Chains A and B, each alone.
Chain A
Amino acid sequence: MSLVMALVLFLVGLASLLLGTAEVPFGKFMALASGSLNADDPARLIVLRIRLPRMILAGLAGFSLALGGVVFQALLRNPLADPFILGVSSGSAFGAIVGILLGFTFSVGIPFTSFAGALLAVYLVLALGTKKMGMESATILLTGVILNAFFTAVIMFFISIVADSRLHTMLFWLYGDLSQSRYASLVVLTPAVIAVSIILFGFAKELNLITTGEEIALQLGVDVEKAKRVCLVLVSLLTGLVVSFSGLIGFIGLIVPHLARMAFGSDHRLLIPVASLGGATFLIAADTLARLLISPGELPVGVVTAFLGAPFFLYLLGARGSQWSRS
């Protein structure tokens, strides 16, 4: 099964390199792959400098967001949970917009302020949400939602007072912007994604048990507090890091885990890898469409993920049910 998914991922990735405003014929691509293409051929620049880093960023972002969604939905036993649930989205958006206002660039400044904003949000949620009640799921969720509302208000305030070209940059960032991908950022991102996904996979059995209830998981020998602490922090850090480079890409972290559950059942040792690969494939495909649909212009990728993903998901929900049993 994983083999089929890897094949689909490969094909979608290939398509994303070939398709775009400037067509790259397959022959030229093969020449490039085998190293026989002229060094000054524009196809070389387009594929290697623009589309490849962008595709890798889309893949890593989709992978991380779907991974975070699977883990959070299991950990908090809530079908509405996504990787942004601890306030990461609005925290990093706040940081990014401050960065844009200050005139920082997308290479270092904005990712930095954005990640700092995400850290601030996660810190606030964990510090406030776990003070009285321990790590109780409903309290954490509620604190995250409230904090999101607060940061969103601050963001809207900034957007209202900005009238120049920075407004366009801000709006694109808020709906996901993969066009700023650079190899330098991928060097930071790739090892982080690999390390975090391996650690989270190590918690797959714990997550299975936690979905049946925290007390039962404890009775079966799970250190629930530790599992929650590690997963909440790691997912939020990874999400904050990813969106600091990609902008806010909603929907994937919510929907891909549900699709994976519909198709593959409830065992997180299977769900974690298939949902992550599925998320990567989905986002690369969506980003390719975002570049193609109004070419030579381009759409924020979040518009495509939600516009195409939502009807598809509603159709499946109607046909198959959500796999979430009523409590």
Chain B
Amino acid sequence: MEPILTLRKVGFRYGAVWAVKGVDLEVFPGEILGMLGPNGSGKTTLLKILDGMLLPHEGEVLVRGKAMVNLKRGDIAKVIAMVAQENFFRFAFSVLEVVLMGRFPHLGRLQFERDRDLNIAVNALRATHALELSERSIHELSGGEKQRVLLARALAQEPGAILLDEPTSFLDLKYKKELLDLIAGLTKEKGLGVVVVSHDIDLVSQYCDRIVMLKHGSVHLTGTPDQVIDAASIETVYECAVFVDQNPLTGKPRVSLKP
């Protein structure tokens, strides 16, 4: 299977300090890839390299086998969608207008959205259970509603991969589960490659097919949750004593802080 995104020996530095160094990574269709690591381990930098916001100083990024540096922003946006952690809307766009923005890379300069684009936006809103919000102003939405709308915008791009930066950080338990179930369903159904950056180890353990654990800008471990999450690896990477057992409901590793 051809990976949607490939990182080869990627390095990025702020000034003289390497934030990311020698990272190899592939994102395949139909999988949720979790990215774990403490603050400053390079998760956010890596995510920005994956969506082309930062150009690596070393190595290369391939989008469906093509070097990202040779692609236009519009072509990248047809393959990679990003749901950022913070979203601020200066003006009161309606929810439908926001989702239609996802169609931008598919439209010509003087072209208005066609019926096809409207259908795609409506279907995306339906898929994220946000269709009833479509006439509302983006300013009136709760955190959970806004997150679903932004996911719908990402889907409207019809991308191969969706990158999510701390998608659940502003959500309560119910919305957290709802959003992640949604993402898991869409991943299988549409064959998307999904990358989730999160601080919530249990959540990543439960929902991700594969995990990359970062330490000081390099890949410390990579593999299935069972292979990556154990007391030794967490203590090494997070420098914090933990107890790891198996979640009796899912069979996935579960992390508890030692008192």
- A interface with B by C-beta (< 8 Å): 77, 201-202, 205, 208-209, 211-213, 215-216, 218-224, 261, 265-267, 269, 323-325, 327
* CB pair A221 B53 closer than 8 Å: no
B34: min CB distance to chain A, Å:
21
Cα distance A18–B88 in the bound complex, in angstroms: 49
Chain A contacts of B74 at CB under 8 A?
A: 221-223
Those of B90-141 within 8 Å (CB) of chain A: 90-93, 97-98, 101-102, 104-105, 107, 109-110, 112, 139
Cα distance A205–B102 in the bound complex, in angstroms: 11
B124: min CB distance to chain A, Å:
14
Chain A contacts of B92 at CB under 8 A?
A: 265-266, 323, 325
Cα distance A224–B74 in the bound complex, in angstroms: 11
B109: min CB distance to chain A, Å:
5
* CB pair A220 B104 closer than 8 Å: yes
Closest to A223 in B: B73
Known: A212-B88, A325-B90, A327-B90. A222 touches B104 (CB 8 A): yes
Known: A212-B101, A325-B139. A219 touches B90 (CB 8 A): no
Chain A contacts of B139 at CB under 8 A?
A: 325
Chain A contacts of B90 at CB under 8 A?
A: 77, 211-212, 324-325, 327
Ranked nearest first, the 7 interchain pairs of A and B with the lowest CB-CB distance are: A221-B77, A221-B105, A266-B91, A221-B74, A219-B82, A202-B109, A211-B90
* CB pair A213 B88 closer than 8 Å: yes
* CB pair B97 A267 closer than 8 Å: yes
Cα distance A220–B81 in the bound complex, in angstroms: 7
Q: How many A-B residue pairs have CB under 8 A?
A: 84
Cα distance A262–B171 in the bound complex, in angstroms: 32
- B interface with A by C-beta (< 8 Å): 51-53, 72-78, 80-82, 84, 87-93, 97-98, 101-102, 104-105, 107, 109-110, 112, 139, 153, 157
* CB pair B104 A221 closer than 8 Å: yes
Sampled A-B contacts (29; CB under 8 Å): A77-B90, A201-B110, A209-B104, A215-B84, A218-B53, A218-B73, A219-B51, A219-B84, A220-B104, A220-B157, A221-B73, A221-B77, A221-B105, A222-B73, A222-B74, A223-B72, A223-B73, A224-B73, A265-B92, A266-B92, A266-B93, A267-B93, A267-B97, A323-B91, A323-B92, A325-B89, A325-B139, A327-B88, A327-B90
Cα distance A215–B77 in the bound complex, in angstroms: 12
Cα distance A48–B76 in the bound complex, in angstroms: 55
* CB pair B87 A212 closer than 8 Å: yes
* CB pair A220 B53 closer than 8 Å: no
Closest to B77 in A: A221
Chain B contacts of A215 at CB under 8 A?
A: 53, 84
Chain B contacts of A201 at CB under 8 A?
A: 110
Cα distance A213–B107 in the bound complex, in angstroms: 20
Closest to A271 in B: B91
Cα distance A269–B112 in the bound complex, in angstroms: 9
Closest to A205 in B: B104
Chain A contacts of B112 at CB under 8 A?
A: 269
Chain A contacts of B110 at CB under 8 A?
A: 201-202
B12: min CB distance to chain A, Å:
16
Chain B contacts of A323 at CB under 8 A?
A: 91-92
Cα distance A222–B53 in the bound complex, in angstroms: 12
Cα distance A216–B102 in the bound complex, in angstroms: 11
**Can you add 11 more A-B contacts, CB < 8 Å, to A216-B82, A221-B78?**
A209-B104, A212-B88, A212-B90, A212-B93, A215-B84, A218-B73, A219-B82, A221-B104, A221-B157, A267-B93, A327-B88
